Amino acid sequence: MKFKSTHGLFSVLLGVAFTSGLAAQELKSGEQVYKQTCFACHGAGVAGAPKFAGEADWAHLVEEGQAVVTAHGWVGEGAMPPKGGNAELRLEEFARAVAYMGRAAGADWSDPDSAMLETVRDEERKRIEELGK
């Protein structure tokens, strides 16, 4: 009987620890990622970065499409390092930030769903091949 009680307590504690770990790993919103990572360059247009909410700056990117722009930024584009220089970002978080910036510039881009993330991964592979990485 004592073993079952201890085993039950262990299971509860393990469940709490696991749930707490998941909570700590919640994905950041596009706005959060923009403010924490992207603003430094996209806020002022540093090194040719398209300015936040700059419709003219983003027009050619909107034409390229959300998946392409996201994949190129994820891999690195021009003066922009991969992942915007934030190695801790997950693809979905990065993609949310791109969608957020695109929307601010007038694009009709939604936060990525699983299909969009798969398309981004396909574009990422193409871009890596193009760059010979």
Where residue 133 falls among pLDDT bands split at 50, 70, 90?
Answer: confident
Where residue 15 falls among pLDDT bands split at 50, 70, 90?
Answer: low
Q: Is the pLDDT of residue 8 over 60?
A: no
* 17-43: average pLDDT: 82
pTM, two decimals, is 0.82
Q: How many domains does the chain have?
A: 1
Q: Is the pLDDT of residue 21 over 60?
A: no
99 falls within a domain: yes
1 falls within a domain: no
71 falls within a domain: yes
Q: Is the pLDDT of residue 76 over 70?
A: yes
- Distance, in Å, from the CA atom of 28 to the CA atom of 117, rounded to the nearest integer, reads 16
Q: Is the pLDDT of residue 6 over 80?
A: no
106 falls within a domain: yes
- Distance, in Å, from the CA atom of 19 to the CA atom of 76, rounded to the nearest integer, reads 34
4 falls within a domain: no
* 1-12: average pLDDT: 48
Tell me the CATH number at 106: 1.10.760.10
Expressed as residue numbers, the domain containing 104 is 28-131
Which phi and psi angles does 61 have, rounded to 5°? -70, -40
Cβ(45)–Cβ(57) under 8 Å? yes
Under DSSP, the state recorded for 54 is -
Q: Is the pLDDT of residue 20 over 70?
A: no
45 falls within a domain: yes
16 falls within a domain: no
Q: Is the pLDDT of residue 46 over 50?
A: yes
**Percent of the chain whose predicted confidence (pLDDT) is above 70:** 82
10 falls within a domain: no
Predicted pLDDT at 110: 98
Long-range contacts at 87-95 (CB < 8 A, ≥ 24 apart):
89/28, 89/33, 89/37, 90/27, 91/117, 91/120, 91/121, 92/27, 92/117, 93/27, 93/28, 93/30, 93/33, 94/33, 94/70, 95/70, 95/120
